[in-house]
Amino acid sequence: MARRRMIYEGKAKVLFEGPEPGTLVQYFKDDATAFNNKKKGTITGKGVLNNRISEYLMNRLNEIGVPTHFIRRLNMREQLVREVEIIPIEVVIRNVAAGSIATRFGIAEGTPLPRSIVEYYYKNDELNDPMVSEEHITAFGWATIQEIDEIIALSLRINDYLSGLFLGIGIKLVDFKLEFGRLWHESGDMQIVLADEISPDNCRLWDAKTNEKLDKDRFRRDMGNVEGAYQEVARRLGILPEAGPADAPAPDTVQ
Ligand SMILES: Nc1ncnc2c1ncn2[C@@H]1O[C@H](COP(=O)(O)OP(=O)(O)OP(=O)(O)O)[C@@H](O)[C@H]1O
Ligand SMILES: [Mg+2]
C-alpha cells in the first residue's frame, strides 16, 4: 500500500497528495453524515460504490465536453483528480421538490418544479452551509459574475445530460449538489471545472415508476437498505463492482 501525505479529511472522503504536482488522490470512505454532521454512521461498501459511480458519471461528462477534475480511478476506493481551488459554494440543481425546498415553500415532495432551479449555499459547516444569492457570492469575493455565469451554464448542461442518462435507466434525477473549482493551465489561463463527486450521497435519485428512494435520504430518514439502494444505482448504470478482496484499505499516511 502506497504511503501518501494526507491533505484533508472530510466527512465522506480523504484527500491525499497525488503522484504528480497538481494532482490529488480522493479516497472514498464508508462514513456517512447528515444534517451537518449531527447524524453519523457508516454504510458498508458506500465508498467503493461512490468511487465507481462518480468515475462513470465524470467520464460521461468529460466525453460531452464538460470539464471535470477527474483523471482516472486508481483502485476500489481511490481516484486521481486534478487539484483545483475549490469555489466555496455548493450549487444545488432541483427538478422536483424534495428536502429543504419542499419544507421552505410548503410544496409536497415529488411535485415537479415549473423549471429547473439553481440554488447556492456557502460551504461553511460552522454556519450550517447558509443559502446565499449571487449578490453575496460577488460581494464577498467567492466568485466573479463571469465565474457564476460559467457555473450556471455548466450546471444546467450537466442537469440536462444527467437527467436523460438516469431516465434511461428508470431513475428520476430529483436534485443534486455540485462543487466547482478553478484549474490553472500552464499558459496562465484559468478554467472552471466540475470537482468533488457525483454519487447517491449528493443526488436525490428516485425510481421513475415507484418513486422509491435510491440515495442518501434512506440514511437521513432511517429507511433501511441504504447499501442496497446505492448498489441498485450502480447495477442500473452497469458498473456494479465485483465484491470481494479487491477492496483497498486507506493508505498509511505520513506527516
Ligand atoms: N479537485 C479537487 N481539488 C481540491 N479539493 C477538492 C477537489 N475535489 C473536491 N475537493 C474538496 O475535497 C473535500 C472532499 O471531502 P468530503 O466530501 O469528505 O468533504 P466534506 O466533509 O463534505 O467537507 P466540505 O464541507 O469541505 O465539503 C471537499 O472539501 C471538497 O471541496
Ligand atoms: Mg463533501
The model's pLDDT over 94-144, given as tens digits with 9 standing for 90+, comes to 999 999 999 999 999 999 999 999 999 999 999 999 999 999 999 999 999
Residue 54 has pLDDT above 90, yes or no: yes
Mean pLDDT score of the chain, rounded to an integer? 95
Residue 241 has pLDDT above 90, yes or no: no
pLDDT at 245: 53
Cα(85) to centroid(ligand 2), Å: 15
Lowest mean pLDDT among 2-11, 89-98, 124-133: 2-11
Tell me which of 8, 82, 180 to substitute to probe ligand 1's pocket, judged by most ligand atoms within 8 Å of the beta carbon. 8
The domain locations on the chain are 3-83+225-243, 85-207
| Ligand 1 atom with the shortest distance to the CA of 83 | 3
Name the residue at shortest CA distance from atom 29 of ligand 1.
10
pLDDT at 95: 99
Show the cell assigned to 119. Answer: 440554488
Among 203, 201, 204, residue whose Cα is nearest residue 109? 204
- CATH assignment, 85-207: 3.30.470.20
Q: Which residues line ligand 1 (CB under 6 A)?
A: 8, 10-13, 15, 24, 69, 81-84, 86, 123, 125, 179, 181, 195-196
Dist CA 94 CA 118 (whole Å)? 6
Mean pLDDT of 223-229: 97
Cα(181) to centroid(ligand 1), Å: 10
pLDDT per residue over 171-197, tens digit each?
999 999 999 999 999 899 999 999 999
Residue at grid coordinates 484499505: 249
pLDDT bracket for residue 249 (50, 70, 90): confident
**Antiparallel, parallel or unpaired: β 89-96 and 190-195:** unpaired
pLDDT at 2: 64
CA distances from 248 to 51, 93, 126 (A): 12, 33, 32
Can you say how many angstroms the Cα of residue 61 is from the centroid of all Cα atoms in its chain? Answer: 13
Name the residue at shortest CA distance from atom 26 of ligand 1.
10
Show the cell assigned to 92. Answer: 444545488
Tell me which of 11, 23, 77, 183 to substitute to probe ligand 1's pocket, judged by most ligand atoms within 8 Å of the beta carbon. 11
| Ligand 1 atom with the shortest distance to the CA of 123 | 25
pLDDT at 7: 97
Dist CA 23 CA 53 (whole Å)? 20
| Ligand 1 atom with the shortest distance to the CA of 13 | 18
Q: Which CATH architecture has domain 3-83+225-243?
A: 2-Layer Sandwich (3.30)
Q: What are the two backbone dihedrals, phi and then psi, of residue 203, each rounded to the nearest 5 degrees?
A: -125, 150
Cβ proximity of 182 and 87 under 8 Å:
yes
Q: Sheet of 78-82: strands edge to edge?
A: 70-73, 78-82, 23-28, 13-17, 3-9, 252-254
Residue 157 has pLDDT above 60, yes or no: yes
Q: What are the two backbone dihedrals, phi and then psi, of residue 47, each rounded to the nearest 5 degrees?
A: -60, -40
Write down the pTM of the prediction. Answer: 0.95
Mean pLDDT of 153-164: 98
| Ligand 1 atom with the shortest distance to the CA of 195 | 8
Mean pLDDT of 55-66: 98
